[in-house]
Amino acid sequence: MRIEKRIAGRWGWFFAAVAILGLTAVAVAAEELCVPLDVITIEAPAGVAAERSPVDFPHGQHFSMACTECHHKWQGTDENLSCATAGCHDLTAAPKKGSGIPDRRYYKNAFHRSCIGCHKKIKTANLEAEAAKSVNTVILPGGPTGCVECHPR
């Protein structure tokens, strides 16, 4: 009978420890940043007449990439700011050549270079891996690079 009490006592401590750890994990999770895994609709900034339809961006499909690949000013601890934040990609018209203003500040250039540029790099890497018949290279799914693939009519 004494052995049974010891076993029950040990299991009791085990379950208590699991419960405490579970509550601690919930408390920590409440302080963690929320990362959207669903589709994010990217639209032209307010006051800009859109030339094409909005882009439905599958944020969750890009979860394997480093956040800073796109969110280049994010420090990893604070809330992520909008791309249109002052000094980032806040221009609603392309800057004139020779103005000294980087053209990546124009929102359209920023998205196109980031998205299409990355997708083209992946496609090139995949083609090179296939040509080399490399079995050690992971073939990543390539993303769209054409207008209507992102901006459906």
Identity of the amino acid at 64: S
pLDDT tens-digit profile of 83-119? Answer: 777 778 888 888 899 998 888 889 898 889 999 999 9
pTM: 0.66
Contact present, 70 and 83 (Cβ < 8 Å): no
- Using CA atoms, how far residue 65 sits from 35, 115, 148, in Å, is 13, 12, 24
